[in-house]
Amino acid sequence: EPEVTQTPSHQVTQMGQEVILRCVPISNHLYFYWYRQILGQKVEFLVSFYNNEISEKSEIFDDQFSVERPDGSNFTLKIRSTKLEDSAMYFCASSGTSEQFFGPGTRLTVL
């Protein structure tokens, strides 16, 4: 069964450093998303992406965040200068004609 994959599973970084979180969506899906879940809190929408551009972004998704689909398979989330409060689990999702399928997440720890 096709699935969304994410790498790395855990990333530790120093405050102020740039991180890139990677996702491989399901191959025939056209809609892509990033969500995050701060420990103990709800899953929050960050951004949706379709046809090589951002469809919608939340107020969390400020200028420090960017997304890219650099080739036909990867979908990345970049945080330019990480802050302590960026520590969270980041989930990628993709959808085709029905529901969104979520990846296993990348746990980002900012020290």
Residues that bind other proteins (CB under 8 A): 31, 33, 35, 41-45, 48, 50, 55-56, 58, 91, 95, 97, 99-105
Q: Give min distance, CB of 92 to other proteins, in A.
A: 9
**Measured CA angle at 66 (ends 106, 29), to 5 deg:** 65
Taking the least distance from each CB to other proteins, the nearer of 14 and 59 is 59
Q: Answer yes or no: are the C-beta atoms of 13 and 83 closer than 8 Å.
A: no
Taking the least distance from each CB to other proteins, the nearer of 27 and 55 is 55
Q: Give min distance, CB of 9 to other proteins, in A.
A: 9
Q: Give min distance, CB of 76 to other proteins, in A.
A: 18
Cis peptide before 104 (omega within 30 of 0): no
Taking the least distance from each CB to other proteins, the nearer of 14 and 97 is 97
Separation of CA 98 from chain center: 20
Taking alpha carbons only, the member of 46, 111, 42 closest to residue 83 is 111
Taking the least distance from each CB to other proteins, the nearer of 23 and 110 is 23
Q: Give min distance, CB of 23 to other proteins, in A.
A: 11
Other beta carbons within 10 Å of 8: 12
